Structure 1
């Protein structure tokens, strides 16, 4: 098979990956559709993300004033993370390499009456704009790009001093292969076959290294599916899906 992944100049993307997500985009927001499990997963993941933002920027037991926070969601897809954070009042920018996904996200935000600045662009282009954000989120993206270390480096450079870097991906373990690929794609058909390449999964220690010395790991947690109830839960095990939160030194 022809490898259409590209890492030329500032183009760190895969044409095959973008085409795959173009096909998925229209179905992302359908709560009764075939990607219901992925939507349920996103809700559980979003709970973790919000808790980390509120722990970092909140005052005691009080949540932060979201309207004071700038957020960028890198690889925002149909807006499943961007839109809920914007509803809380955050100033959210969502970027994605898929023009179709960006348009789907824009249409949904317009329908929902939520203000999100969606842009069809790469993280490298945002870096060139010399912008920084209070919160930088990269969720389930790094396992889909050719140069993974470069992507994390770009994300890290976009975080303001004292800000948060939130990374979510899949661990490269035997368990993740069995659950995330064999189980989710071939057996349960939660995702289309070929959605993931196990060799592109990332170990937590690799993210730690790629984030760099300016960052301190604040929190890490895993996600697991209860197959009997169809519910996503947090777990101390990072063996499959996991989320890591880093604070940038001031």
Structure 2
């Protein structure tokens, strides 16, 4: 299935085009994707504080160029990364081949379609920095819940919707500090924790824990914290 094959896909063509144009720079640690490379060890460590990845079957939803998927495979997981951005997936596949990353595969398929094909198949599902880029984030959450095994873990990360997050994640990150290309995020697509919690409850996922992700512009470093007012991560478990 290609991004343009169905008008019913839960995807924004403009968003897919945006990330496809930058696909060749995905593994350049000094490129527009530098923030993803910087936060990857933090989110990987946070995931493993809940569940060791070695030996687990893992799905990375909205995997892009494969930064998180590749890292999880190197921790011993059997990883499938899915996305609808063709060019980004090709970059992910090429990187896995060049780096010799074991047990990582990539597919161009929507999470909703995969949920019909392989329900209850994964021990761990990650969906990072993706929910704020789709028309219907609740649909993604439901599909993740359908795909994970009973007792399995689902991890999300996204952006809170409030004045502070607009100032920090849009104005600050895109226009002042130039951490991200302008237009990367649309404020109205940001998701409050209460909204994501509602999606999780409706899908049969128990909200287990959450952490904030903060950036220090002086040190140019990210850290996990208790402040979820801008970026935040969520751990949920299938009942």
Q: Find the counterpart in structure 2 of residue 167 from structure 1.
A: 156
Work out whether 1:104 is the aligned partner of 2:102: no
2:65 to 78, 98, 116: 78
Report if aligned partners of 1:6, 1:14 keep a CA contact under 8 Å in 2: no
Report if aligned partners of 2:26, 2:91 keep a CA contact under 8 Å in 1: no
Report if aligned partners of 1:144, 1:200 keep a CA contact under 8 Å in 2: yes
Q: Find the counterpart in structure 1 of residue 40 from structure 2.
A: 42
Shift of 1:53: 2.1
Output the CA distance in 1 between the equivalents of 2:157 and 2:90. 24
TM (norm. structure 1) is: 0.88
Write the deviation string for residues 108-127 of structure 1: whole angstroms up to 9, x where unpaired: 01111113110011101101
Q: CA RMSD in A?
A: 1.8
Q: Find the counterpart in structure 2 of residue 87 from structure 1.
A: 74
Output the CA distance in 1 between the equivalents of 2:33 and 2:199. 31
Unmatched 5+ stretches in structure 1: 55-63
Range 31-40 or range 225-234, more displaced:
31-40
Q: Find the counterpart in structure 1 of residue 206 from structure 2.
A: 216
Report if aligned partners of 1:222, 1:236 keep a CA contact under 8 Å in 2: yes
Structure 1 residues 5-20: aligned runs within 5 Å: 8-9=7-8, 11-20=9-18
Q: Find the counterpart in structure 2 of residue 153 from structure 1.
A: 142
Output the CA distance in 1 between the equivalents of 2:47 and 2:16. 25
Distance 1:6 1:240, change over 3 A: farther
Q: Find the counterpart in structure 1 of residue 236 from structure 2.
A: 246
TM (norm. structure 2) is: 0.92
Q: Find the counterpart in structure 2 of residue 187 from structure 1.
A: 176
Work out whether 1:141 is the aligned partner of 2:130: yes
Instruction: Tell me the SS of whatever aligns to 2:49.
Output: helix
Shift of 1:8: 4.2
Write the deviation string for residues 26-70 of structure 1: whole angstroms up to 9, x where unpaired: 21211233432332123322222222223xxxxxxxxx6x12x11
Distance 1:153 1:36, change over 3 A: same
Output the CA distance in 2 between the equivalents of 1:138 and 1:6. 23
Shift of 1:219: 1.1
Distance 1:118 1:7, change over 3 A: closer
Distance 1:167 1:41, change over 3 A: same
Report if aligned partners of 1:93, 1:118 keep a CA contact under 8 Å in 2: yes
Distance 1:25 1:52, change over 3 A: farther
Unmatched 5+ stretches in structure 2: none
Q: Find the counterpart in structure 2 of residue 59 from structure 1.
A: none
Q: Find the counterpart in structure 1 of residue 111 from structure 2.
A: 123
